[in-house]
C-alpha cells in the first residue's frame, strides 16, 4: 500500500491555507473511479461533494465541452446566448418554475435569491426586510450567505454579519408558525434536507406545510437545492417529493458535473422582481457552462437516472441497515435517494483518512455523520464495495 505522504507544507505552498486537505492528489478519473499519482485506484463515494453525479470524465460531457471549446467560450451577457435560453427552458420544464438567473456557484445562486427577497421587501416599502433561515443550515461562504448559514463556525471572525435574517430550528413548523403575521418578513430560505448539517431529513409534510404558511403570509418560499438538486434525491428536485413548487429555487453543484455553473430559478411574483440593471454576472450562463449543463440533463433523462438514484439509494440504505443495525457504534441511518448519512454515537472524522487507505472516498460532516454522495452511475459491484468498506470501517471503531 502506498504511504500517505503529507503534502501540506505550509512554508512552501502558495495557496491560502483555507482547507485542511488530505495528503493525496488525483490525476485521472473514469466513472466512479479515481486514480492517484502512484496509479492506485479509489472508489469515489463523494462525487466532489455532490458535483460529479454522472461520474468523472464522462465521455459525452467531454465531447460537448470540447466541441463548444472549439466554437466559442464566452461573449458576455451584453449579447444573446442561445444555449442559455435553452438551458433556462429545460430547468423550468423540469422544475415547474418560470425563469432563471445564471451564475457560477451555489453561494451566488443564493445571493440571487436573497436579492430577490430584499427587492420584494423594497417594493413593499419595508425598510428592514427579514428572511427566515434555519439552524444547522449551509448556504455558502459569501458575506450574505454565511450570514444566512446556521453554523457559528462559519460566522467566526467575519462579524458584523449581514443583517436581516431570523433563525428558527430546522424541521420546526411551530417556530415558523409563531412568526406568522409579521409583515417585515419577506421570505423563508431552507434546504429541503440539510447536507452539510448532517443529512438531516425533515418530517414528511414539512415542505408542504411550509408552502401553505408562506402562501398565507405572502412570504416567498425559497429552497436551496444546491446539494439536493439535479436528481441526487431520486427526484429532479427534492421538493417534488411533496408535490409543491417553491417561489425561488437555487441550483449549482451537479448542474455542470464539475463545470462551474449555478442558477437561481423563480416563479410567479419572484420571477418579476429583478429587472435590467439590478443583478448581473460576467461569466454567468456562458456558452461552455450552458452546453455542459444541457448535456447533463440530456444524459440523466436518456439513462433514466432519476429512478436509479431512488432505487439504488433504497438498496444501499437497506444493505447498511442489515449490516450495521446490531453495532453499538450506530446511532441512525438516514437517506433520500443517493444522499446518505450514517450517524454514529461518537465523532468519526478520522474515518475519512482510514477510508482513503482502503481505496474509498467518503466524507464526515457534523462531527459524527458519515456522508455518502456516490455518483448516480454507480454499478452493483461498486455499491457492494462501498457497503463492505464502510461496514469494515465502522466495525473497526472502538465504541
Ligand atoms: C455547497 C452548498 C452551497 C455553496 O455552494 P458553492 O458552490 O460552494 O458556493 C450552498 N448551499 C448548499 C446547500 C450547499 O450544499
Testing ligand 1's pocket by substitution, the residue of 227, 237, 250 carrying the most ligand atoms inside 8 A of its CB is 227
Q: Given this model, what pLDDT does residue 244 score?
A: 98
For the chain, how many helices (H) and strands (E)? 12, 15
Q: Report residues of the chain scoring pLDDT below 70.
A: 1-11, 399
**Cα 115-121-125 angle, rounded to 5 deg:** 140
Classify 234 in phi/psi space as left (phi over 0), alpha (psi -120 to 50) or beta. left
| Global confidence as pTM | 0.96
Does residue 53 fall inside a structural domain? yes
CATH number reported for the structural domain that contains residue 184 in this entry? 3.40.640.10
Residue pair 4/359 in contact by the 8 Å Cβ criterion: no
Query: How many whole angstroms separate alpha carbon 81 and alpha carbon 96?
Result: 22
Is 388 found in the same domain as 367?
Answer: yes
Q: Are residues 200 and 344 in the same domain?
A: no
User: ∠ CA 198-199-202 to the nearest 5 degrees?
Assistant: 115
Q: Which member of 44, 101, 102, 138 is catalytic?
A: 138
Coil, helix or strand at residue 3 = coil
Kind of pairing, strands 363-365 and 99-103? Answer: unpaired
**Mutate which of 18, 106, 281 for ligand 1 pocket (most atoms within 8 A of beta carbon):** 106
In this prediction, residue 398 carries a pLDDT of: 74
State in Å: Cα 114 to ligand 1 middle.
Answer: 14
Distances (CA, A) of 107 to 54, 68, 226: 22, 26, 9
Residues in contact with ligand 1 (CB, 6 Å cut-off): 105-107, 110, 138-140, 191, 195-196, 224, 226-227, 252-253
| Residues of the domain holding 390 | 26-57+304-398
Domain assignment of residue 238, yes or no: yes
Closest atom of ligand 1 relative to the 142 alpha carbon: 9
**Which letter does DSSP use for residue 19 in this model?**
S
Is 311 domain-assigned? yes
What are the DSSP E strand ranges found in the chain?
26-30, 33-36, 41-44, 99-103, 130-134, 165-168, 185-190, 220-224, 248-251, 262-266, 330-336, 339-344, 360-361, 363-365, 369-372
The last residue of a domain, from among 241, 276, 302: 302
**Which residue out of 102, 239, 253, 287 is catalytically annotated?**
253
Amino acid at each position: 500500500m502506498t504511504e500517505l505522504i503529507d503534502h501540506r507544507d505550509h512554508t512552501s505552498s502558495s495557496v491560502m491555507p483555507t482547507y485542511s486537505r488530505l495528503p493525496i492528489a488525483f490525476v485521472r478519473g473514469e466513472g466512479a473511479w479515481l486514480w492517484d499519482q502512484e496509479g492506485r485506484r479509489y472508489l469515489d463515494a463523494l462525487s466532489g461533494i455532490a458535483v460529479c453525479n454522472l461520474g468523472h470524465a464522462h465521455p459525452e460531457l467531454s465531447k460537448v465541452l470540447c466541441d463548444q471549446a472549439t466554437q466559442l467560450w464566452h461573449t458576455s451577457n451584453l449579447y444573446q446566448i442561445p444555449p442559455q435560453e435553452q438551458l433556462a427552458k429545460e430547468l423550468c420544464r423540469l422544475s415547474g418554475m418560470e425563469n432563471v438567473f445564471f451564475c457560477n456557484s451555489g453561494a451566488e445562486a443564493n445571493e440571487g435569491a436573497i436579492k430577490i427577497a430584499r427587492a420584494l421587501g423594497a417594493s413593499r416599502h419595508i425598510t428592514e426586510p427579514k428572511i427566515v433561515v434555519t439552524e444547522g443550515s449551509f448556504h455558502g461562504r459569501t458575506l450574505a450567505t454565511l450570514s444566512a448559514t446556521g453554523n457559528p463556525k462559519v460566522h467566526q471572525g467575519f462579524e458584523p454579519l449581514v443583517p436581516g435574517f431570523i433563525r428558527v430550528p430546522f424541521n420546526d413548523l411551530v417556530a415558523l408558525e409563531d412568526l406568522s403575521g409579521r409583515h417585515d418578513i419577506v421570505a423563508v430560505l431552507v434546504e429541503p434536507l440539510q447536507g452539510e448539517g448532517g443529512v438531516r431529513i425533515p418530517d414528511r409534510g414539512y415542505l408542504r406545510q411550509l408552502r401553505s404558511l408562506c402562501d398565507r403570509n405572502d412570504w416567498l418560499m425559497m429552497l436551496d437545492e444546491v446539494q439536493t438538486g439535479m436528481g441526487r434525491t431520486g427526484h429532479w428536485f427534492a421538493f417534488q417529493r411533496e408535490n409543491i413548487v417553491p417561489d425561488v429555487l437555487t441550483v449549482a453543484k451537479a448542474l455542470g458535473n464539475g463545470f462551474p455553473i449555478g442558477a437561481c430559478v423563480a416563479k410567479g411574483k419572484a420571477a418579476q422582481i429583478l429587472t435590467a440593471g439590478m443583478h448581473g454576472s460576467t461569466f454567468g450562463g456562458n456558452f461552455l457552462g450552458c452546453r455542459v449543463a444541457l448535456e447533463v440533463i440530456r444524459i440523466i433523462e436518456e439513462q433514466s437516472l432519476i429512478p436509479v438514484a431512488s432505487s439504488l439509494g433504497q438498496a444501499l440504505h437497506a444493505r447498511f441497515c442489515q449490516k450495521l443495525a446490531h453495532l453499538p457504534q450506530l446511532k441512525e441511518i438516514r437517506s433520500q435517494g443517493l444522499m446518505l448519512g450514517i450517524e454514529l454515537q461518537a465523532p468519526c472524522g478520522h474515518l475519512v483518512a482510514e477510508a482513503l487507505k482502503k481505496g474509498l472516498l467518503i466524507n464526515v460532516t457534523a462531527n459524527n455523520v458519515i456522508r455518502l454522495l456516490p455518483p448516480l452511475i454507480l454499478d452493483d459491484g461498486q455499491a457492494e464495495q462501498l457497503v463492505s468498506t464502510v461496514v469494515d470501517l465502522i466495525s473497526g471503531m472502538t465504541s
